[in-house]
């Protein structure tokens, strides 16, 4: 066999080897991409778990008994955003508010004002009593409303809007009473026959009403 023929055979052999390697390279790259996606999913899950742990720990902290404490419903303590949790940008927040308000039949401006007062639009906000997320849902309330992740802004706004609608219906469309019930609980509003004489609740209602057009 001539040298030219030998070189030709070598070229054909190398070409076949390269072609044979291509599916393996593709499989390896696909596996690497799958592993990267799994790692990202695990990281997101870990963040959610840490949020839940923080909320549970906050809820489990004992508080001194006070005779004038109203029944726990949402929160009477202003929330503190979790470290590294920024306020949700308007570009993401606005469509979620519009969607939740329209779906539940409540005023979007009212829903926005409540979310602002409750969490200042921080999705990871957790109060001293364990209320969580944009709408500051207490764990029991979140469970009753079927919320799977109270830190998810869409779920928080949807459930908060649903509850606002229920409270507005319960109190004949009276916004002040519905807001008082959201803050202090509907039983306390019914007991007093109006806005409960709780300074923080009074301030809460005034602040939200002042934000409405």
Tell me 76's DSSP state.
S
Cα 122 to Cα 130: distance, rounded to the nearest angstrom: 15
When pLDDT is cut at 50, 70 and 90, the band that residue 85 belongs to is confident
Question: Do 152 and 79 have their domain in common?
Answer: yes
Cα 171 to Cα 67: distance, rounded to the nearest angstrom: 26
Q: Is residue 162 part of a domain?
A: yes
Cα 190 to Cα 186: distance, rounded to the nearest angstrom: 6
Q: Is residue 65 part of a domain?
A: no
Structure token pair of residue 173: 């469309």
Residue-number span of the structural domain to which 80 is assigned: 70-211
Q: Give the chain's domain count.
A: 2
pLDDT (tens digit, 9 = 90+) per residue, 135-188? 999 999 999 999 999 999 999 999 999 999 999 999 999 999 999 999 999 999
- HSE-up of residue 38 (Cα within 13 Å, Cβ side): 6
Question: Do 35 and 111 have their domain in common?
Answer: no
The predicted pLDDT at position 134 comes to 96
The predicted pLDDT at position 117 comes to 97
The predicted pLDDT at position 86 comes to 86
Above pLDDT 70, what percent of the chain?
A: 61
The predicted pLDDT at position 16 comes to 52
Q: Is residue 125 part of a domain?
A: yes
DSSP 14-38: HHHHHHHHHHHHHHHHHHHHHHHHH
Catalytic residue among 21, 50, 118, 200: 118
The predicted pLDDT at position 47 comes to 52
Average pLDDT, the chain: 78
The predicted pLDDT at position 115 comes to 98
Structure token pair of residue 101: 């308000």
Sign, Cα dihedral of 75, 77, 81, 83 = negative
Question: Do 188 and 206 have their domain in common?
Answer: yes
Question: Do 198 and 180 have their domain in common?
Answer: yes
H helical segments located in 139-196: 139-144, 153-170, 175-184, 186-192
Residue 118 appears among annotated catalytic residues: yes
Cα 21 to Cα 18: distance, rounded to the nearest angstrom: 5
Q: What mean pLDDT is predicted for residues 89-112? A: 98
Q: Is residue 87 part of a domain?
A: yes
Question: Do 83 and 168 have their domain in common?
Answer: yes
- HSE-up of residue 75 (Cα within 13 Å, Cβ side): 28
């Amino acid at each position: 066999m001539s040298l030219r023929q030998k070189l030709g055979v070598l070229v054909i052999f190398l070409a076949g080897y390269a072609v044979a390697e291509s599916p393996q390279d593709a499989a390896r790259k696909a596996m690497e991409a799958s592993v990267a996606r799994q790692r990202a999913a695990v990281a997101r899950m870990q963040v959610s778990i840490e949020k839940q742990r923080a909320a549970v720990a906050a809820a489990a902290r004992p508080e001194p008994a006070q005779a004038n404490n109203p029944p726990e419903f949402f929160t009477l303590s202003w929330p503190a955003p979790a470290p590294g949790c920024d306020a949700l940008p308007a570009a993401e927040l606005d469509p979620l508010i519009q969607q939740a308000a329209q779906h539940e039949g409540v005023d979007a401006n009212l829903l926005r004002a409540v979310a602002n007062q409750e969490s200042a639009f921080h999705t990871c906000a957790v109060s001293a009593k364990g209320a969580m997320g944009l709408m500051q849902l207490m764990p029991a309330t979140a469970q009753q409303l079927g919320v799977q992740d109270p830190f998810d802004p869409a779920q928080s706004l949807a459930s908060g809007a649903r509850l606002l609608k229920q409270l507005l219906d319960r109190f004949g469309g009276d916004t002040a009473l519905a807001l008082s019930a959201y803050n202090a609980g509907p039983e306390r509003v019914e007991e007093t026959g109006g806005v409960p004489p709780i300074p923080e609740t009074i301030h809460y209602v005034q602040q939200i009403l002042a934000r409405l057009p």
